[in-house]
Amino acid sequence: MTRLLATGVAAALATAVGVSTLTLPAQAATGAADGFASQNGGTTGGAGGRTVRATTGTQIHEALCGRAGSDTPIVIEVSGTITHGNTAKVSGSSCNTAAGVIELKQVSNVTLVGVGSGAVFDQVGIHIREARNIIVQNVTVKNVKKSGSPTSNGGDAIGMESGVSNVWVDHVTLEASGGESEGYDGLFDMKGDTRYVTLSYSILRNSGRGGLVGSGDSDLGNGPVTYHHNLYENLDSRVPLLRGATAHIYNNHYVGIKESGINARAGGKAKVDNNYFEDSKDVLGTFYTDLPGYWQVAGNVFDNVSWSSKGGDTNPAGPNVTSTTTVSVPYSYRLDGASCVPALVRATAGANTGNQVSNGSCTPQTPAPTTAPTSAPTTGPTAGPTSSPQPSTPPPTAPPLGRNLSLGAGADGSGKGGGTSYGNAIDGSLSTYWQPSGSTGRISVKWGSATTVARVVVREPAGSVGSIGAWRAVDNATGVVLATGNGAGTLTFRATSLTKLNVEILGSTGTPRVAEVETYAG
């Protein structure tokens, strides 16, 4: 693929969508989480909760602290510029905040979205810790420092750590003004058991480090994560640095990557589809370590990409880029052709682009709103719950199409603890559960006659979400492993006729609990 062709395609698409004159206003949260953020019960943020308007970091913290509980859903619409001077610590039973950083700590069910003329976090990072079901959309975070003055969030524009799950970051612009020597760190970092994350339609630029998954070669319990339709521009490395985790990386535009790009190491696996790599060096491989990573590649364009020679701790995938593993993903997605990616991403990625997305055919479109309040948003934070009680947990995501075959079936297992029942896992209620007698165990669904199953969904009860680690679905009669997963959620596999399906929990943190094992024919 020549640069001339790519430039021509870009120019044609830019003309079609009017990129040079596109001035769409920032808007309320739109669309729905996709990629790995759509798994493990899904990511809905504050959908269904109160909508609050904030113009300072302090007001963002007050909105979190003014909820009935730390899991009460809330949509915080942000406009204006958030700075150290207007971001103070706020205390309350439903929050755990700090000055000089937007602290989403020990909370769940939160949407943070830029509206109006835009939301800019100037030298103030967004720190997500011990949190679940978080959406960050349509904001700019810039020049967050770890050294010098002022400092915030360890130098990360958006940082996630310590038991974080189900985060969707969409249509954001993350940028710095240099590398580590200038006081900056990563733009989008995940570590310390951060799982089920999607970064989509975003811009990461002008920094030494794009982002990492895993803080060190022993921090291997992160991911999976999806990166799609993002622009990575003028970065040294880490786009991303992938330690041990699985990543799906598709339809991104990489331009001006100076040292190394997608760095899969320590067993990390990357599925790299239909990306456009331009004017860059060593855009895929294992670098700075002798602990190898792996990749599956298809449909990518390498436009003026240079490659180092292999040796020592340098193992570039090119110049003859071929797959070294296979990576399966449990969700559906549509690929745009790689040749249109530069223009498409320029038209759709980043804050203040109208939250536009691709229709799967290289054409931008605007998704429908997902958080439409029934009344005007409150100006400023609220002091407490609304007069009508809000749910303490978000509504469950819609099940796959078809009938849940587990309802009316039988159940057994390897053992049970805490007075639980096997039947609690197939009764259609998320308030009851089965738990094994230890950190591993088996719960099975069984039928009186052969039943065709192609999908199994494991759901955890409130208070135990994120406990289940590795697990698998097994045909009891044959012992065939149908699919494997990491973290509760959905597994799909070839339609199989069976009379008993085993869900085997192979690892967990804390006490694993299964509220429901749902089975479907398709």
The three-state (H, E, C) secondary structure of 206-234, written as one string:
EEEECCEECCCCCCCCCCCEEEECCEEEE
- For helices 341-348 and 3-17, angle between their N-to-C axes, nearest 10 degrees: 40
Q: Is the Cα torsion angle 94, 99, 105, 108 positive or negative in sign?
A: positive
Cα–Cα dist 371/31, whole Å: 9
> C-alpha distances in angstroms, 332 versus 19, 64, 131, 192, 248?
29, 34, 26, 28, 12
Structure tokens at 371: 């958080």
Cα–Cα dist 293/381, whole Å: 46
Residue 430, number of CB atoms within 10 A of its CB:
15
Structure tokens at 42: 């899904």
Query: Which residue has tokens 């749902």?
Result: 518
| Largest interatomic CA distance in the chain | 69
Which candidate, 265, 220, 202, places its Cα nearest to that of 238?
A: 265
Which candidate, 372, 347, 373, 377, places its Cα nearest to that of 359?
A: 347
102 CB contacts (<8 Å, ≥6 apart)?
57, 60, 61, 82, 87, 112, 121, 124, 125, 126, 127
Q: Is 238 a catalytic residue?
A: yes
Segment holding 64, helix H or strand E:
helix 57-65
Which candidate, 168, 244, 275, 156, places its Cα nearest to that of 204?
A: 156
Characterize the bridge pairing of strands 108-122 and 516-520. Answer: unpaired
Tell me the β-bridge partners of 502: 444, 474
Catalytic residue among 53, 238, 455, 459: 238
Residue 158, number of CB atoms within 10 A of its CB:
29
Catalytic residues: 238
